[in-house]
Structure 1
């Protein structure tokens, strides 16, 4: 069996029981080295197979080969393996094999959910996830999606918002959002969610400091009804109070 496991955002306390059980029972773990370092206490006595950044295809192939040999193996992702994680790639590659292998996706807490809980309740009405990384998706396509989500007044969870190689993508996305939303729109920032140096901050589009944002940050842009009360970011569900 090949398990595709979501580790959650970084804390063992935010891992699902199923994820913990799978990692405990399988003899081999495959993962990006940074993710392996998140769970060292769970890996004692196990065979560990790692690759570096952008080694997704290689990791998937190794996990599939191990499973095809008859061994149980888990390939790990941070967050949820089915949200910008390894699940899609592994399933695509496994479907092209002549030999059938059993694959099971084990869900995890994704960054937007972890950040939302720390910030308050920003996802109580319709929301969407958009990655600002253009490594896999053309930037023009990403801009179209940001435009459509902002026009429809979704709460927008921005993944991979800003990096050294993409320092201006967040600003471009916010400029698109400002075509439809006020610069006073509430924005929640979750950085290193679930880890020892976690930071949560509530601000507005106007006052957002882009220099605080990096690839370990999730940016949640509220809708027109999102507000702040008692230091909590709240998007009303629509109840009459």
Structure 2
């Protein structure tokens, strides 16, 4: 029997949005590896009592992936966890990067990627239907790529008329980058373009703020926030005493 390794997306945080497939993988785990926030979430789901826990910092993805591969080769059943979907700015790519640069024997491991509900999908469902047309997701972090490239991608996505979802919009080490991103988008998009700040969707601390590009400020976001910027074909449906709905036209006029 081949060694096996699971890479699991835990969804955006609501217990109801964790798939049965993900729960099944956790039930088989001998080891759970991940950033402490996601490992804590996995523990809350009810992993086996004898499961060994491996919590590491969120900048140690490649070392974590190598550790999981080594555990698989020892006959363990490691489960590497990510928030949302493990293939969207998650651990799946780190695992395959480790395989590509590691010993040949790692290529015989049965690596099973378990999909999850990624943040942009849960946020879109909360807001209405802002992804009804073409869209893209961009990480605003410049830890693994230069800021000039991030800004160029923002500008080109706006010029292409895509709805833009921003992951990793703002952190303590990057307090000003979201405002720089908004400044880049204002060079292309109209001031009235809808902007949504959606924080901790599906969790008790959930917050939603809908504004315009002209009024959007980086201080409205943190690392638990997904920022969604509409396009020329995104519409707003106002509602009395409630947040408006956003939707994007399916057909370009």
Q: How far apart in 2 are the matches of 1:127 and 1:170?
A: 19
Q: How far apart in 2 are the matches of 1:31 and 1:165?
A: 21
* SS of the residue 1:37 aligns to: helix
| RMSD (Å), alpha carbons | 1.5
* SS of the residue 2:104 aligns to: coil
* SS of the residue 2:113 aligns to: strand
Confirm or deny that 1:89 pairs with 2:102: no
Residue segments in structure 1 that go unaligned for 5+ positions in a row: none
Q: How far apart in 2 are the matches of 1:91 and 1:53?
A: 17
Q: Give the CA deviation at 1:171.
A: 1.2
Residue segments in structure 2 that go unaligned for 5+ positions in a row: none
* Residue from 246, 249, 253 that aligns with 1:233: 246
State the partner residue of 2:60: 55
Q: How far apart in 2 are the matches of 1:114 and 1:120?
A: 10
Q: How far apart in 2 are the matches of 1:126 and 1:209?
A: 25
* Residue from 16, 40, 51 that aligns with 1:13: 16
Q: Give the CA deviation at 1:44.
A: 4.5
Over 3 Å counting, the alpha-carbon distance change for 1:24 and 1:144 in structure 2 is same
Confirm or deny that 1:176 pairs with 2:189: no
Confirm or deny that 1:33 pairs with 2:36: yes
Q: Give the CA deviation at 1:39.
A: 2.9
Q: Give the CA deviation at 1:194.
A: 2.2
State the partner residue of 2:124: 116
Q: How far apart in 2 are the matches of 1:140 and 1:210?
A: 18
The two structures have a TM-score, normalised by structure 2, of 0.90
Q: Give the CA deviation at 1:228.
A: 1.2
- How many residue pairs end up in the alignment? 240
Aligned 8 A contact 1:188 1:233 in 2: no
* SS of the residue 1:39 aligns to: helix
Confirm or deny that 1:69 pairs with 2:51: no
Aligned 8 A contact 1:94 1:101 in 2: no
Aligned 8 A contact 1:162 1:168 in 2: yes
* SS of the residue 1:136 aligns to: coil
